[in-house]
Structures are given as structure tokens and as C-alpha cells.
Chains A and B, each alone.
Chain A
């Protein structure tokens, strides 16, 4: 799986939020998308999953764009949004069934995956609950289960760590690690830099709708002329001071 974002320009309505973004996510890579509030992280993600249409540039997954083959493109992606989005009329069990139907997944095999994930997140005894009975963190976990039980090859997670308890954060990181080992790719946007620093292979730093820099931590240190013991926090703060 390779995700290529080439010269992506776009945004909501007439305002161009993103200006010629270019970066790639390779097979088996975990990439952290990092930037200030309003830098364009979520907008970038919305373009990749196809909720927004680019005004310029290209987004390719394994060489195909959304335009080439909608179904094929969409089946490759699993997405966990920043705010959980659930159907108020469906139980947790039915959310899983619906996802299986929508993506045409193998029923038994997917349920096997789902059960493991449900157990990990301690949701296995809540299969008949409605979303209105779940707390925000539990809803977030439901979204994670529904995304990671699929056979997608690119997992896109928007701000996964906020709202989750520390145990769940740890569980999520394990799941991400397992997917990575299986050759899948993960793109996640976050502000929790300490966590992402230890678990991502590569970082894409976005500032004002543009890719300011990308690469591994060592490459970033060189690009920002920072010392060897600097961490992602220092780089991030240096970047945010640049436009002042």
C-alpha cells in the first residue's frame, strides 16, 4: 500500500486551506501528521478519504485515485474521525454488522477480529447498547473497532488519543503496531507529540496548509538545525515560532 499526495490544493468552498501539499506514506509505515490547530490536518485527511474534492493536485492509493474507481479506493481505507459518528438507531452489534455489509467483508472472519478488539477495549458485554448510552471515550473505541476489524490497508486516524483512557491509548498503539507488522500503513494526526514520537516512523509537519517538512525525527532535526537531543516538542515549537 502506498499513499501519494501530490501538490494537493483544496479546502472548503472558495477558501484554499491547503496549498500544494506533497507527501507519501509507504507500506508498513506509521506516519504522524502534525501541526497547530487550524493548520490543515483534518482538511488533508478529509481530502484523502474523499469527503472533500481537491481543487488541484492528485491523491493516489496504490496508483489509483478516487476518480478512477470509487469502490476500490474506498475499500482500501479505514477511517477513525476526530469526533465519533455513530447511528443513533443501531446497537453496537449492528454497527459491526452494517460495516461488514457495507464493505462486503467476510462475516465470520471479521467478527472474529471484531470480538478480539471488543474484548481489548472492554466493550464485549455492551453489544446491545445504543450509542446514546456510551460515553465519548467508548464511542471513540467503537469507531476504532469498526475501522480496525476491516481488511483495509490504509488506516487514517484523526486525533486518536484525546478522550481515551491511558489503557486504551496503549491498546490502540499495540493494534497500530500489529497492523504495521502485517504490512498496512497508518496515518494519524495528533497533538500528543510524546506518544507519536515513539510510535511513528515518519512525521509530516503542516503549517498554514503547507508541508513545512517531513521525514524521520533525525531528518527533521537536521532540517531545523537542532541538536541531537531535541525531541519533537522542540521542533514543533520552533516551527510555530517561524511565522511570528
Chain B
């Protein structure tokens, strides 16, 4: 069974590397590096404004650390056919999962270390914690998380209960209480609680090896969801096969399509507009990026960073719309329509112009809110418009051409 795990892990890692390579190949990454730089700049500015301990300092630290512990579960790498083909091996799966758990500790440890490291500056300024406190809490949280993974393990067997008490809920309450005690009173509490918790769960996991009944459906569904989340993330940067987006009717938005007259030259606009509005992936992306952009523009004081955010986000939305065109072009039936590729591209650019204009108007309001009626506002807004024109009239037509056949 551990051989099977090793084989799957190797294949999984190869797949991950393939996608990571694709992601780090694209100019999109440059954009993200700029974004991270902007966030870092914002964070250090924020720290500069904090001169004494804040009332909300400790609650914020507790909240962020609590959320950080939730990140990462067991990567079981189970597959749908397992419940048919490997059903006979059910008893041996304990060792398989054990190997999976050992592998799965890596991401939580790195995440917790990183979050604690980044948070330490804030924690010492705003929450009045000493470095030694932060280190003790960080170690405590990592040990706690190692115990917490056992709860995920037990859930695979449906044994994640303590009497009638759900172990996950119990763990989270315990976590919050010990975080409060360690930040406000005595920081070593976290380590002590975590050690006891870890040892207790290790004892509880053991009997599953001989008496556990695996919950196949749950285990496979959980793993599929986990994979889907990873792939959806990769899908932001590159095309991942097998990521199907959800379609919603949104009948209340049908009025929007009244502007599209049922004429032959509007055939593709008819199709693209409906697809964009109803496909969660694309409308979701547009809404997420537009809202994040508006919030950032409302918060950031620096002219240059606002300028970058305005231009970058408009470019990003335009860039992210391309895969939708590709998706439609892969439909065989539409290739038979007596409509030229030029008209297809023209229809798509029409749609993207409308979308980016809406985004541009919303961002303009955010800029005016922050900078008022000033030359700075004007420059940023015009720069946004320039990106809009560039994306729709120069970038898009050239990029879309390669998807036509």
C-alpha cells in the first residue's frame, strides 16, 4: 500500500510541477509580484502608523492565527475508481493514509511558520507580544496542527467524535481558548495544550488500524474537492483540463441581453454575453477583481501604487477573459456556422469592451473618492482608459486569432 502511495505521490508531484512551470512562465506572474510588492509596501506603511498597543491588536492576532491553523488537510490522492478496484484492500488503507498524513504535514508547517513570521512585526507593535512569546505560540500551533490532522484522518473512518461531541468543533474551541490564554496571559499555554492534544489524538487514531471502516464516498468526495480547489487556482493562470465551471440561469439578468438585437452579425455576441453572465467562473472573476481593485483604490494613499493597481487590474480582467473565447472556439458546431473568424473576434471584443468599461467606471469612482477632483485622479483614470483601449483594440484581436482553429 505504501508503494501505491509513493507511486501516486510521484505522479501528483509531476503534475504539480507541470502546472507550476506553466504558471511561472507567464507575464501574469510579474503582475502578481508587483501586487505582492504593493501589499508589502502597504503593510510596512501600516506598521509605521502604529506607535502604541491597540485594543484590537490581540484579537486580530488571534483571528489570523486561528485561520492559519485551518489551512491544509490530508492529501489522500484517492481516485474515483478506488472504491471499486481497491475495495478489497480496505484494511491496508490505514498505512496508506498514514503515509499520506506524513506527507501532508509539510504545507501546514510552512504556512504557520510564514504567517507567524510575517505577523510578528504587527504582533510586537500592536499586540505587545515579545519575540519569545511569538516563538512559543508558533511552535505550539505547529504541534497543535499535527494533532489536528489526526482529526481529518479519523473523519475518513467516520470516527471523528468524542461521545456526541464533534472533534473538529471541540478542537477549534480548544484552539481559540488556548490562543486567548497564551496571548493575554501566559504564552507557554499553547505548547502545553498542543502537546497533550497531540498525544491524546495519536492514541485515539491507533484502533482504526484494526477496527476502522473506511467511508469511501466521503473520503473520495473530500479528495475530489481538494483537487478541484487546487486546479481552480491553477486555472486562474493557465488552462487546466477537467475544471468545469458551474452554470447558473440568473434569469433576473435576462434584461441585459435585450440590447443585443437578433441579427446574424450579433450571433456570437448573443452567445458570449450569455456565457459570461451565467458562467460562474468568468463573472466571478470579474466581480472579485473589480471589488478588490475598488477596495484597494479606496485604501491606498500612494499615487504610484494606485496607478499600478488601476492599470494592472484592468489588464488582468481582460487577460482572464481570453480562456472563455478559447472554450467556445472548441465547440465543434460553431465552427460550421457560416460566420467568419473576424466577426467572432469582433463580437468578443465588443463584450470585453463593455465589461472593462464597467470595471473602469467603478474604479474611477474609487479613485475620485480617495484623491478627489485632482490632477492625480485624472492621470490615474486616463491611464486606466489607455489600458482598456490597449487590451481591446491591440492585445485582444492578436491573442484571439490563435484560438480560431
Contacts and interface: CB of A to CB of B under 8 A. Distances in A.
Contacts of B271: 87, 89-90, 98
B333 interface: yes
A71 B340 CA distance: 9
Contacts of B110: none
Nearest to A70: B338
B338 A103 contact: yes
Interface stretch (B45-53, B210-218, B259-267, B289-297): B259-267
B370 interface: no
Contacts of A75: 338
A87 B275 contact: yes
A88 B333 contact: no
Contact of B332 (A77, A85, A102, A128): A85
Contacts of B262: 97, 100-101, 107
B165 interface: no
Interface in B280-315: none
B226 to A, nearest CB: 23
Contacts, number: 67
A90 B264 contact: no
B7 interface: no
Given A85-B331, A87-B331, A94 B336 contact: no
Interface in A110-157: 128, 130, 132
Contacts of B275: 87, 89-90
Interface in A3-53: 49-51
Given A98-B267, A101-B263, A130-B249, A90 B274 contact: yes
A77 B349 CA distance: 29
Centre residue among A91, A97, A98 by max chain B CB count within 10 A: A98
Given A89-B279, A94-B274, A98-B267, A103 B247 contact: no
A230 B302 CA distance: 87
Nearest to B257: A94
Interface in B295-351: 328, 331-340
Interface residues on B, range: 20 to 34
A71 B279 CA distance: 30
Contact of A89 (B278, B338, B340): B278
A104 interface: yes
B270 interface: yes
Nearest to B249: A130
A49 B338 CA distance: 11
A51 B274 contact: no
A74 B336 contact: yes
Contacts of B263: 101
Nearest to B333: A85
B270 A97 contact: yes
Contact of B336 (A51, A86, A104): A51
A161 interface: no
A163 interface: no
Contacts of A71: 338
A139 B360 CA distance: 40
Contacts of B331: 85, 87
B249 A101 contact: no
Nearest to A143: B333
B334 to A, nearest CB: 8
B335 to A, nearest CB: 6
A94 B336 CA distance: 18
Contacts of B337: 74, 102-103
A98 B270 contact: yes
A200 B199 CA distance: 77
A75 B247 CA distance: 31
B343 to A, nearest CB: 11
A203 interface: no
Contact of B267 (A49, A91, A101, A107): A101
Contacts of A94: 270, 274
Interface string A210-242: 000000000000000000000000000000000
Contacts of A70: 338, 340
Centre residue among A87, A103, A128 by max chain B CB count within 10 A: A87
Contact of A77 (B274, B278, B334, B336): B336
A81 B332 contact: yes
A76 to B, nearest CB: 10
Contacts of A49: 336
Contact of A102 (B247, B249, B267): B267
Contact of A51 (B247, B279, B335, B340): B335
Contact of B266 (A51, A88, A101): A101
Contacts of A88: 247, 279
B136 to A, nearest CB: 52
A40 B28 CA distance: 44
B247 A89 contact: yes
Nearest to A50: B336
Across the A-B interface, the 3 shortest Cβ-Cβ residue pairs: A71-B338, A102-B337, A89-B275
Given A71-B338, A102-B337, 12 more contacts: A74-B338, A79-B336, A81-B332, A85-B331, A89-B275, A90-B274, A101-B263, A101-B264, A101-B267, A103-B338, A104-B338, A130-B249
